[in-house]
Amino acid sequence: MRVEGTVALVTGGASGLGAATVRELLGAGGRAMILDRPQSDGAALARELGRDAAFAGADVTSDAEVAAAVEQTIERFGAVHINVNCAGTGAAMKTTSKAGPMPLEIFAKVIEINLIGTFNVLRLCAARMAKNAPTRDGERGVIINTASVAAFDGQIGQAAYSASKGSVVAMTLPIARDLATLGIRVCTIAPGTFDTPMLALLPDTQRQALAAQIPFPPRLGQPREFAALARHIVENAMLNGETIRLDGALRMPPR
Residue 202's pLDDT is what? 67
Residue 252's pLDDT is what? 81
pLDDT, tens digit, 9 for 90 and up, residues 97-122: 999 999 999 999 999 999 999 999 99
Q: Which domains does the chain have, with CATH numbers?
A: 7-244 (3.40.50.720)
What is the Cα gyration radius of the chain? 18
For the chain, what's the residue count?
255
Catalytic positions are 161
Dist. CA 137–CA 1, nearest whole Å: 8
What φ, ψ does residue 239 adopt, rounded to 5°? -85, 110
pLDDT, tens digit, 9 for 90 and up, residues 231-247: 999 999 999 999 999 99
pLDDT band at 93 (very low <50, low <70, confident <90, very high): very high
Dist. CA 144–CA 231, nearest whole Å: 10
Q: Is the pTM of this model over 0.75?
A: yes
